[in-house]
Every structure is written in structure tokens, then in C-alpha cells.
Structure 1
Amino acid sequence: MSTGENVTQCIVDEQFMEYLYAVTYAIILVPGLIGNALALWVFYAYMRETKRAVIFMINLAIADLLQVLSLPLRIFYYLNKSWPFGTFLCMFCFYLKYVNMYASIFFLVCISVRRFRYLIYPFKFTDRKRMFDTYVSAVGWIVVCVSCLPFPLLRMQNSTHENGNESLEQKCFMDLPLRDIGVTNSILAVTFAELFGFVTPLITVLYCSWRTVMSLKKPHSASHDLGEKKKALKMILTCAVVFLICFVPYHFTFPLDFLAKAGKIKNCQLKKTILTLHPVALCLASMNCCLDPVIYYFTTDEFKRRLSRQDIVDCSELEIFSSNTL
């Protein structure tokens, strides 16, 4: 086999990748936008009534909504294969993708831990705890935003150089070049991302799930306590399922994709397989924007209640009455 034929076999089908991204983001856009906007409206309007993990749910919805708002630009790029919006906006949208992913992971963990602790210590939840959740959320945002900076920074090298007849300024997202930082730095960066961005959160969510299941097996639980434990288990297990579906495939292929794009994997067939599977995993990770609202609806009684027609009518009448009395 000639060298030219071998190089051709190593090339990933870019048209398939572009359609995959465009179709996935188009599917996510409308339900993700409606679901998360509705969640913010419900939780913000009734924050004082809703206990447990409402602060973390609000922040999770914000993270998802930020990602959803960038999807139209992504769809435009993959359908037109052109980016006329400038380098900064490209990098910002690219950055938002990873901020959303790791912010979602962080707040899913926080929801699981808060729900578990509320189950174990139900009478210790106070307004002070709610303020503590606010501080945790603020620190979480700062840590996530800072930790995700390497993703765009590693893609900014040679962004103004020419590549044939097409300037790299017209490229974005999957077509951005990757800076070579060496084998040692690559391994350290990937290990840090996997350990603190995936393995530790996964262990935490699984631990909360296990402890909640064990608490259900205690024979001395009261009937009302048993019902509360089942609700907690439903929420924690739903968080775990979303975590497993969206983030396990991505973090399994992420280190391999990083090494393949950095030129550290030489085997042609293996490299092509990795570069094909990773975009599929990335699309699954993007699905969390749609799946997170499922957590709110099916595991939060307040969310279901506030979306009921009668409650919406009562709320509207109350607002009208309040405005007339002012």
C-alpha cells in the first residue's frame, strides 16, 4: 500500500462529524431552551418555599442555558463550514462547552450530596444552609471557569496563520488546531482533568447513591421517613444516571482523543477510531442540557406542583391581587 493511500485511510469523515454535531445540537436546542428557562422561572419564583438542593438546581439550569444559547452559532458553523463571527466569539463558545460540562458535573454532585445530607439530617436545614449553598455555588463557578481555561488556550496557537487558501480565522470548534505541549504536560493535564473533573465526582455520586440505598434497608425507619428516603433515592439515582449517560463516554475517550490529536498515537486505525468515537461521546455529553430538566420534573414535587395548571392560575390571581393593592 502506498503512503498516500495510508494517509487517506487515517482521515476521519469530516462531513459525517459536521452532520452529527449539527443534528445533535438542533435536537437539543428547543427542549434545552424551554426546559431550563422554565426551571429557572419555577425555582427562582418559589425559592423560599423549596428546600433541599434548589440553589444547586438553579445554578445547574444556568449552566445548561448558557450552553444552549451558544448552540445556534455551532449549528450555523457545521452547516455552512464557515465562521464569520470573529476569533473571540469562537473561543468563547468553545470555552462555554467545557464550562457547561464541568459546571454540570459539579452541581450534579452538589445536588446528590445536599439531598443525601438533608435525608440524614432533615432538621438541620436552615436559611444559613441555603446561604452556604450560595457560597459553594460561587466558589464552584470560579473553580470551573479557571480550570476550563486551558481548553481554549491550547487551541489558540497559530490562529492567524494561513492554512492553504483558507485562514484559520474562519475555522472553529472541531477544526481548531491543538498546541503541542509535550508528552509529560499532556499526561499531567489529562490526569488532572480526569481525576478532579470525573473520577472524584463519580465516586461521590455513587457513594451518595449507595448510602441512600442502605438507609432504605434499615428496619426501624418510620413510614414518613421511608417515603422521604425514596424521594431522595429517586433524585440521587437520576443524577447518577444522567452522569453515567452523558459524562462517562466522554471521559473514557477524552484522554485518547487528546493524545491522538497531539500526534502521540501513531497507529492509523486506532487513531481514526478514537477521532470518530470521541465526537459521538461529546454529543452525548451535550445531551445533559435536555436531561437535567428531567431531574427537576420527575424528582422534585415542588416543580411538578408549580407547573400544574391550577397552581399557575392561583399564582397569576395572586400577582394580580398584589398589583391591585399597591
Structure 2
Amino acid sequence: MDPINTTNMPVPANCTVNTSYRFTYYKISYSLIFMFGVASNATALRRFFHMPQTFTSTAVYMANLAVADIFFVISLPLRIYYYHNKAANTNHTSDWFPGATFCQVTFTLKYISLYGGIFFLVCIGVDRYFAVVQPLVQHLRKVHNACILSVGIWFLVLALSLILPFLRSAASHWHKSCLLDPSSKRHRVIILTALGLVQIAYLLPALLILFSYCSILQRLQRLPRRRKTRHRRTLIIIYWVLGVFFLCFTPYHLNLLGYTLTQVGLVQSCGLSQVTKVLHPVVLSMASAKCCLNPLIYFFSSSLVHKQVAGNRESGCQITEVLN
């Protein structure tokens, strides 16, 4: 969620902090994310889709993860335009002319990308879990099943994004802002319901991805030293996915939780309110940067698969790798 404009909510008395810098910060950070996101996704996907014999369940999830990233990248120019006008107009008037439809699409694409990215990172982790820890249930990793699950995830992501129109309908000054969520005191239940859904959409995947990769790491640790060396790239991928997931998504959801609870008056803490307001542009940019970091997952995976296929051709036998 973008920060909710809660000027009418029961925030602590005399608890204000200057966050006017956020418009310039967003404009610069989103411009950098857009440039690196386009370049990295184009380069990594070109390499990924040219891999031989890689149409597996993992490839299906990675392709969907790339689509989720692209959704956010294509929405960035309008967001950059919005924040550019915000930074230029001190009165913050006439800051959005493309129309409410473009605004809603731009706003919603962020959530589709954010939670689509979370869910498909989890799918990759669970898929790896069945490949390494539970190899006897390989039927769960069929491409057909991966495609069906991916379609279900997209429906789930779209359903979660339906909370946005409810927040919009609760807006007290809809015409004054586009990408913020203006709400009023009487809509506390709607805000807390949306917050609960958002936190669940993060916590459950976080637990699943921790369980999957910790189980894989335990399995790999029991291998002889010589076989561990063969899985070095696999370990790099595991650590990278965990790092991207928790570095990008955890600060954002923790900050959002503290911010919302202070703004609706459930937590009376001026310090927490000020800190979360100041940190929000930073953690939101960190969450957005995942579209620049995910392509490295494709890069490492494609390198591993190329190496695996080359080994198969030389030895004439099928080699089972952790990433296939």
C-alpha cells in the first residue's frame, strides 16, 4: 500500500514530520529502477528463453515472475510523471491529467507486480523443495500442473487487487491525489481489513519460502564435499532468492504495519508514526527494486541449465541437478 493520507485520523497531537522530499526521491529512484529494470529484464529474459530443453515447471514460474516484473516496469513512466509534477508544484494542484482510468491502472499494476512477484518466488522455492527433498513426488512438478497453478495465482493476485477500489471509494478527497490512498476516520475497518490481507499475503509466502529453502540447504549439507562443489551455483541461487525476498519485501510490510496502526490510532506513538512516514519512500523503493534484482535469478539459472545440458551431451547420461 502507498501511505494513506490520514489527515483526519487520530494521529498523536503535534506529531508531524516533513516528508516533502518524497516526491523528488520517488522521481529519481523510479527513474533508476525503470532504466535498470528494462535493461536487466531484457538481457536476462533473452538469455533465459534461449536456453535449450528448459521448459520445466521452474521455467514456467520464472516466466510468470518476469511478467509480474514487467507489469511494474511499464507503469513506471506514468508514476515518474506524477511525482515529477508533485515535486514541481508546491501547491500540488493539477498534478495528474491522464485521467482516473490511467491512474487506477498505474496504481493497481504496482500491487499486481508486488504480490505476483512474492507468490511466484514462493512457487520457485516450493518447486525446488519437491525436486531436491521430495524427489518421489515429481508428478507435482509437471509443466501442466505448473501452468494451472500459475493461472490460479494470477486470479488470486487480481482478487487481492480488488481491495483498491474499496479504498478509493472510501477516499475523502479523491480528486486531489492519484497514487495516494486518502481515507477518513470512519473507514478504519476498511483500512484494517486491507492491511490484514496484505500482511497475510506476505507472511504465509515468507513461511513457505523459509521452510522450502531451509529444507533444501539441510539436504545439500549432508552431501559429500565433492558433490557440494557441484551445487555451488545452486546455493548461490538459493541465497540470492532469499536475499531478494526478505530485503525487498520485509522492510516494506513491517513499515506499512507500523504506519497504518499509528495512523488509525490503534498505536499511540509519535516516534513510530514519524519514523514510518520518513522510511516509507525508502522501503517502497526497496520493494520496487525487486524488478531489477530478479533478472539475476534468470541469469544464474540459465547458466546452470546450460552447464547441465552440456554435461548431458558429453556423458550421454541424464544428470539430475537441483535446478532443472
- The alignment's TM-score, normalised by the length of structure 1, stands at 0.77
Give the CA deviation at 1:10: 3.7
Gaps of 5+ in 1: 1-5, 162-167, 306-326
Matches within 5 A, 1:115-154: 115-120=128-133, 129-154=142-167
Give the CA deviation at 1:266: 5.2
Aligned twin of 2:281: 279
The structure 2 residue matched to 1:78, chosen from 69, 74, 83, is 83
Sort the Cα spacing of 1:151 and 1:179 in 2 relative to 1 into closer, same or farther, 3 A. farther
Alpha-carbon separation, structure 1, partners of 2:233 and 2:137: 18
Aligned twin of 1:110: 123
* Structure 1 residue identity aligned to 2:62: M
The structure 1 residue matched to 2:234, chosen from 232, 240, 245, is 232
Question: Any idea what the Cα deviations from partners look like across 1:17-46, whole Å, max 9, x if unmatched?
Answer: 101111110110111012223344444454
Aligned twin of 2:34: 29
Alpha-carbon separation, structure 1, partners of 2:260 and 2:142: 40
Aligned twin of 2:205: 201
1:90 paired to 2:103: yes
Sort the Cα spacing of 1:13 and 1:212 in 2 relative to 1 into closer, same or farther, 3 A. same
Give the CA deviation at 1:50: 4.7
Give the CA deviation at 1:157: 3.6
Sort the Cα spacing of 1:33 and 1:261 in 2 relative to 1 into closer, same or farther, 3 A. farther
Aligned twin of 2:216: 212
Is 2:33–2:292's contact at 8 Å kept on the other side of the alignment? yes
Is 2:244–2:290's contact at 8 Å kept on the other side of the alignment? yes
Identity of aligned residues (%): 31
Is 1:94–1:173's contact at 8 Å kept on the other side of the alignment? yes
Give the CA deviation at 1:48: 4.2
* Structure 2 residue identity aligned to 1:55: V
Aligned twin of 2:258: 256
**3-state SS of paired residue (2:109):** helix
Give the CA deviation at 1:122: 5.4
* Greater share of residues in helix: 1
Gaps of 5+ in 2: 1-10, 87-94, 308-324
**3-state SS of paired residue (2:105):** helix
Aligned twin of 1:319: none
* Structure 2 residue identity aligned to 1:99: I
Is 2:125–2:212's contact at 8 Å kept on the other side of the alignment? yes
Give the CA deviation at 1:284: 0.8
Where relative contact order (Cα < 8 A, 6+ residues apart) is larger, the structure is: 2
Is 1:119–1:228's contact at 8 Å kept on the other side of the alignment? no
* Structure 2 residue identity aligned to 1:135: I
* Structure 2 residue identity aligned to 1:93: T
* Structure 1 residue identity aligned to 2:302: T
* Structure 1 residue identity aligned to 2:250: V
Sort the Cα spacing of 1:233 and 1:272 in 2 relative to 1 into closer, same or farther, 3 A. same
* Structure 1 residue identity aligned to 2:218: M
* Structure 1 residue identity aligned to 2:177: K
The structure 2 residue matched to 1:294, chosen from 293, 296, 309, is 296
Give the CA deviation at 1:69: 0.7
Aligned twin of 2:177: 171
* Structure 2 residue identity aligned to 1:31: F
Alpha-carbon separation, structure 1, partners of 2:114 and 2:154: 12
Is 2:262–2:269's contact at 8 Å kept on the other side of the alignment? no
1:57 paired to 2:70: no
Sort the Cα spacing of 1:35 and 1:116 in 2 relative to 1 into closer, same or farther, 3 A. same
Aligned twin of 1:242: 244
Q: Compute the RMSD of aligned alpha carbons.
A: 3.0
Alpha-carbon separation, structure 1, partners of 2:283 and 2:61: 25
Give the CA deviation at 1:132: 0.8
Aligned twin of 2:3: none
Give the CA deviation at 1:302: 5.6
**3-state SS of paired residue (1:54):** helix
Alpha-carbon separation, structure 2, partners of 1:156 and 1:47: 49
